Amino acid sequence: MSKFIKFHPDSALLIEFSAGNLAVAPSICVSAHIHFCRKCRDELLRLDEVGSQIMDKIDPAPIADDLLDAVMAKIDNPSSSSTEKKAQKNVTGFPSSINILMKDLQSALTWRRLSPSIDISQFQTGQAGFEVALHRIRAGGMTPKHDHEGSEYTVVLKGSFSDENAVYQEGDFLFRRPGDVHQPVGSQNGECICLSALSAPIKLSHPLGFLMKPWLRINPM
């Protein structure tokens, strides 16, 4: 699958992920991308090996439980075992990092309508700094043009969408920051589902965008 993936986490983000210094929400997104991307799985394994070599050269010292260990205990870490490295999907068709966030894998996701083109299904992550959710764009659906008031990490889980810059397909990883203005449009051949972690609400460019503010606020779950 990775041969079709064009957009990846940058080296700094993978290093933070490997070192266990990345926050929970971005870690979930990176883990979801790694599920699809052989290239980044291999790079993560290389970084883990380098980290192990460095640790072998320093005196051992007590290490507190870090954030990534807590996350990886709940989600599928491709580097933790040969079975997990295969990053297989289970019954839901989503990466394991998504499945583990669902309280009941046999239940349908609870979707809430944001607009005629977009639905959202939020996850309970216990975080105060990020909203983690799935966004579903209907086939050919156009989302509002918007800026970002904070960081946004996005992974395409199903289908594809495009904006003014490129076409994004299954497995692609996007990072947006304040000042990145775009207008995603779903592909015509089917719905698109993305995993997103937002540290702040998006900022609609339309003059009447304030009317949607109550539906776009960050609600930590």
SS (H, E, C) 70-107: HHHCCCCCCCCCHHHHCCCCCCCCCCHHHHCCCCCCCC
Has residue 208 got a pLDDT over 50?
no
Does 100 have pLDDT greater than 80?
no
Q: pLDDT higher for 186 or 220? A: 186
Of the candidates 99, 133, 156, which is a domain's last residue? 99
Q: Which of 70-79, 81-90, 158-167, 205-214 has the highest mean pLDDT?
A: 158-167
The pLDDT score that the predictor gives to residue 196 is: 93
Decide which of 99, 129, 145 is a domain's last residue. Answer: 99
What is the percent of the chain with per-residue pLDDT over 70, rounded to a whole number? Answer: 67
One domain, residues 199 and 141: yes
* Diameter over CA atoms, the chain: 60
Asked if the model's pLDDT at residue 65 lies above 70, the reply is: no
What pLDDT is recorded for position 148? 85
| 204 in the same domain as 148 | yes
> Does 126 lie in the same domain as 66?
no
- Whichever domain contains 6, its CATH number is 1.10.10.1320
Tell me: do 93 and 117 sit in the same domain.
no
Do 18 and 71 meet the contact criterion of CB atoms below 8 Å apart?
no
- Structural contact between residues 131 and 219, judged by C-beta atoms closer than 8 angstroms: yes
Find the domain containing 57 and state its range.
Answer: 2-99
Confidence at 153, pLDDT banded by 50, 70, 90:
very high
Examine the domain organization and report whether 120 and 84 are in the same domain.
no
pLDDT at 81: 39
Query: Is 77 in the same domain as 130?
Result: no
Specify whether 58 is located in the same domain as 139. Answer: no
| Beta strands per DSSP E along 112-182 | 112-113, 118-122, 131-137, 146-148, 152-158, 161-162, 167-168, 173-176
Q: Choose the final residue of a domain: 49, 70, 99.
A: 99
- pTM equals 0.75
Which pLDDT tens digit goes with each residue over 18-59?
988 998 899 999 999 999 999 999 999 999 887 666 655 555
> What is the rounded average pLDDT of the residues 138-157?
91
Confidence of residue 129 (pLDDT cuts 50, 70, 90): confident
Q: Which of 23-32, 43-52, 94-103, 209-218 has the lowest mean pLDDT?
A: 209-218
pLDDT at 219: 44
127: nearest Cα among 199, 213, 30: 199
195 pLDDT more than 90:
yes
